[in-house]
Structure 1
Amino acid sequence: MPDVTTVELFTDPPGVHLHPQEAAVVARAVGKRVREFTTVRLCARSALAELGVTPGPILPGPEGAPIWPDGIVGSMTHCDGYRAAAVARTAQVASVGIDAEPHAPLPAGVEKLVALPEERRILDRLTASHPDVAWDRLLFSAKESTYKTWFPLTGRWLDFGDCVITPDPEEGSLRCELKVPGPVVGGRRIDTFTGRWRTAVRGGTRYVATSFVVPAAGR
């Protein structure tokens, strides 16, 4: 992702400390949640350091989205065996969204909640031509990435049915067409997000990752 700094980790390193305000957020959480919360913030701090930014606590806002330092946009994600954060300066990027999921089919019935009829037809074609990819899970991940990209620009909810995702199996690219009025960036309405996807295996963990980036105005 041009202009975006990303840091990934595949384990939870020992001895990582949270800021007191962050620790308070997960004070009553189970161990797995604390480890995810801690490691993904380690990723975020490492990515911010690459930009020359020394962050304070990275706390969730009222809707759960992380609150970034002034002049920074970013996104975080985690699933079993994978944690990542992506950050960028607002001079280059208006918003970024990333998501990772286990690379396995969705549980029974979930695809019906996520996929629009036109997306089901796309998934059927892709499953026939590229059966090694769990396209329903990729679709779910892409819609999560879409929301993470959308929310910082709008402050509003976006339903699964409010966008259509089209993956390109050859280029590893994604296209998201919004079915509702898109955010306005620099006076221009954005009705389409473009992004990337990939599948990978690391340490026995299979995952699918998706991302979208909205450039800053004038870029």
Structure 2
Amino acid sequence: MIGDLLPSWAVAEYARTDATDDATGVLFPEEEDCVARAVPKRRREFTTVRLCARAALRRLGHPPAPLLPGRRGAPCWPDGVIGSMTHCDGYRAAVVARAGDGLSLGIDAEPDGPLPDGVLDVVALPAEQDQLALLGARRPTVHWERLLFSAKESVFKTWYPLTGRELDFHEAQVTVDLESGTFSARLLVPGPVIGGRRLSSFTGRWAVDGGLVMTAIALPAATPD
């Protein structure tokens, strides 16, 4: 699944069904507080994606720890760890890596279906909408507008830990390569400065499988010039 889109230094775990209907005894008390008033669906997805994250952390040699949502809901990872989470109907996933191996990770999974009415205009730049039409003509079985949305979610999840700033949908332009299963995101605002070098774009991978559209970005610690 989504782990197939990631390099070997990133560890991913996923679940197609929720592990529990009751978070009691599964979540840390601090996590429990985050969903104390949540509806059951929200509790289940919150719990299961954290079980995925803890399983991935265990493979890195990290003991279980609370994974609390910070500002904008981004998870707060243990020291020395980078990561990302995603959840949608029928799928939960988390990916982690040692901070020495990567700068940032961003993953997203979405149901393989059309976007709700009105969302595409919020998400897509005019050039991206033109690209969607071309992609749809070449492979009409893929919901390309959903893939574009997913790619931009992965872009934001990669961007935010590096900057602590919001990134609007229209502040990155995504180009999808149909043949290679990759995409690039050109930042239309000044990117983060890493090691004295300003990043101007991210590159990721995408797949459509099992009723899902999935995208992933893994920014390595040493980026090419």
Correspondence 1:204-219 to 2 at 5 A: 206-217=211-222
Count of aligned positions: 215
2:25 paired with 1:9: no
C-alpha RMSD of matched pairs (Å): 1.2
Q: What amino acid maps onto 1:116 in structure 2?
A: L
TM-score (norm. length: structure 1):
0.95
Mind listing any 5+ residue stretches in structure 1 that lack a counterpart?
none
3-state SS of the aligned residue for 2:27?
coil
**Kept in 2: contact 1:55–1:69 (CA 8 A):** no
Offset, 1:107: 1.1
Q: Distance in 1 between matches of 2:95 and 2:193?
A: 22
CA distance in 2, matches of 1:4, 1:187: 25
Cα distance in 2 for residues equivalent to 1:212 and 1:44: 17
Aligned with residue 82 of structure 2, among 70, 73, 79: 73
- Check 1:144–1:218 CA distance in 2 against 1; reply closer, same or farther (3 A cut): closer
Task: Indicate yes or no: 2:71 matched with 1:23.
Answer: no
1:5 & 1:47 partners in 2: Cα distance? 6
Deviation at 1:174, TM superposition (A): 1.2
Structure 2 CA distance for aligned equivalents of residues 169 and 183 of structure 1 = 28
- Match status 1:122 vs 2:113: no
Cα deviation, residue 63, structure 1: 2.4
Unmatched tracts of structure 2, length 5 or more? 1-5
Rounded to whole Å, the distance in 1 between the matches of 2:85 and 2:170 is 23
- Residue 164 of structure 2 is matched in structure 1 by 155
Q: Deviations over 1:4-56 (max 9, x none)?
A: 11111101123761111101100000000000000000000000011111131
Question: Quick one: distance in 2 between partners of 1:128 and 1:218?
Answer: 35
- Separation of aligned partners in 1, 2:170 and 2:152: 9
Alignment of 1:21-170 (within 5 A): 21-170=30-179
- Secondary structure of the residue aligned to 1:195 is strand
- Cα deviation, residue 217, structure 1: 3.5
Pick from 170, 179, 189 the counterpart of residue 180 of structure 1: 189
Q: Deviations over 1:161-188 (max 9, x none)?
A: 0001111111111111100111111211
Partner Cα separation in structure 2 for residue 59 and residue 38 of structure 1:
11
Between the aligned partners of 1:13 and 1:64, the Cα distance in structure 2 is: 22
TM-score, normalisation: structure 2? 0.93
Match of 1:28, SS state, is coil
Q: Which amino acid aligns with 2:15?
A: L
Q: Is the 8 A contact 1:185 1:216 kept in 2?
A: no
* Closer, same or farther: CA 77–218 of 1 in aligned 2, 3 Å: closer
Out of 184, 202, 205, the residue aligned to residue 196 of structure 1 is 205
